[in-house]
Structure 1
């Protein structure tokens, strides 16, 4: 039976939730238990800002009162980049969130989609969820640090930037996928392949760049890297390498294919006759570009369903959940942009 069809565990079978302790407040506030004690008792030499923050956090966590019952709510957020940006406008994240919502509902949970803006880190200390799905978490992720301190169950879509023993995540084999793409371009005649690399610190961007550089070293080919810029709609970042004779591009973020097509038009280069292109994207618009663009699908729907099933199992304590990665196969959809 698929995991999303499993019956929800009745409340009486779930483990009792212990009351919030002073140590819980200290972990969430990232201070010592002595600091918490001083803040709550009005003693010690604490700054007023620290004292107020600890008190407010203790209240929000329910210190001194029994913990509330499970909320039957899960959360999802993309924390790759700080600051406000609408990740639901990107096809991968939009499809992942939609699939995660359906899977959560099938398990009897609501799913709250949280904004990417991490400026107000205090919000993560009081978020009322039974578990959190975190997509593309980079190293030093403040939201993950706060939720770990509270003991909130976490499952990651994409290997976490600060993986710990016992973590759970769903991911693709990005090394194998990158090698498949590069081999495909090589077989089509490309010799100077540009990687439009990810500009974030998430595992996805780092893994593909490492695989590309290793492959280039094995092939005796130059490593030609352009950093992705989401505001570069005209693809000006490619200009220097196109002028220098680059004959293929592997773009690892969704808008990269459109950026390269725009750059090719400005340079008078025909795709695929003079320039080959592969883009990692779930956007169906690439089927209708001129020419249609070869894409890599990372199967966001399957990844989201697998991740929600893991998260529900952790939240309900239904069974032992294996740690480490659950690997979801990626796929190469070959179209005209990479065939000569």
Structure 2
């Protein structure tokens, strides 16, 4: 491993080398928050570790490539980080979760024994750098390609998508739309593929609604929900979808579930007390991530070991937003 320099720490922390020196030596007139942040970055990079093998795991969320975003605010990722930290500690490792889109130089020199990658898209530049370094990887979400010294854990997104669509159809929906994000990771691609196949099998015209995360009030949905070809069922595969749909439906005078059935994939407990309570799909990140961390540590400690992929069942929690009649079974 290339020895980390003070310049590497300065680049990663986005400060000057003088600030790094002052932060590490307890000198200079720095804000406590800056001193703490610089020291944390230095530790993460292994500055001054003399090349010792780290007992530290990295966590990277690379869903949107070079687009910066605060994934820790999303309930799915918040649960994933908590579960990953607990699982790492149980095996005697520390865990560092870096912000989205860190400079690639961070990943080129960070002193980690292995990295957990969440929602990695095809052609992921972070994964490319880590593979070039020979760092063991475990993925939450199926990666592009299957390589030695790598493991993955995922849900069966196609089966789950079909389960949701069948449920909506059983409740009377005939024009079901899929609300999907802009990501190119396996999750989004699998859900879209399953939705299109289901529509073909049921002679239903597909309607894909793009998710715009910045549109917190769902105003971009208003023309669709107030138009002549509005859907009577929506499955949103990302956390903000449910809130956006409910807000737009309220403005447009659309009653949920009478006029519109709604299901959203989310770990947010607030959906259970929404008006009406929203049906949700849980992807069980507390289980998938814990299993992925365990597989990652096995790869680190047993280099010849190659874990089998693991599929964790998702769970559809049916509530008032998607029911017009008694649910069978």
| TM-score above 0.5 | yes
Aligned to 1:210: 193
Instruction: Kindly state the Cα deviation for residue 237 of structure 1 after the two structures are TM-superposed.
Output: 3.2
Q: Sort the Cα spacing of 1:61 and 1:290 in 2 relative to 1 into closer, same or farther, 3 A.
A: closer
CA contact (8 A) 1:313 1:319 kept: no
Aligned to 1:281: 266
Aligned to 2:173: 190
CA–CA separation in structure 1 for the residues paired with 2:163 and 2:221: 23
Structure 1, gaps ≥5 residues long: 1-18, 21-59
Instruction: Kindly state the Cα deviation for residue 320 of structure 1 after the two structures are TM-superposed.
Output: 2.1
CA–CA separation in structure 1 for the residues paired with 2:235 and 2:223: 16
Cα deviation 1:153-181 (Å, max 9, x = unaligned): 00000011x32333411000000000000
Q: Sort the Cα spacing of 1:145 and 1:318 in 2 relative to 1 into closer, same or farther, 3 A.
A: closer
**Aligned pair count?**
277
Q: Sort the Cα spacing of 1:319 and 1:140 in 2 relative to 1 into closer, same or farther, 3 A.
A: closer
Aligned to 1:52: none
Cα deviation 1:235-262 (Å, max 9, x = unaligned): 2332343212310100000010000001
Aligned to 2:322: 338
Aligned to 2:11: none
Moved over 6 A (4+): none
Aligned to 2:8: none
2:238 match: secondary structure: coil
CA–CA separation in structure 2 for the residues paired with 1:240 and 1:84: 29
CA–CA separation in structure 2 for the residues paired with 1:121 and 1:89: 23
1:337 match: secondary structure: helix
Superposed, 1:228-267 pairs within 5 Å as: 228-242=211-225, 243=227, 244-267=229-252
Superposed, 1:6-45 pairs within 5 Å as: none
CA–CA separation in structure 2 for the residues paired with 1:309 and 1:318: 14
**What is the alpha-carbon root mean square deviation over aligned residues?**
1.9
TM-score (norm 1): 0.78
CA contact (8 A) 1:279 1:294 kept: yes
TM-score (norm 2): 0.81
Correspondent of 1:149 among 132, 137, 141: 132
Aligned to 2:307: 322
CA contact (8 A) 2:46 2:110 kept: no
Aligned to 1:227: 210
Superposed, 1:53-202 pairs within 5 Å as: 68-81=51-64, 82-118=66-102, 120-160=103-143, 162-166=144-148, 167-202=150-185
CA contact (8 A) 1:226 1:237 kept: no
Aligned to 2:282: 297
Instruction: Kindly state the Cα deviation for residue 67 of structure 1 after the two structures are TM-superposed.
Output: 7.9
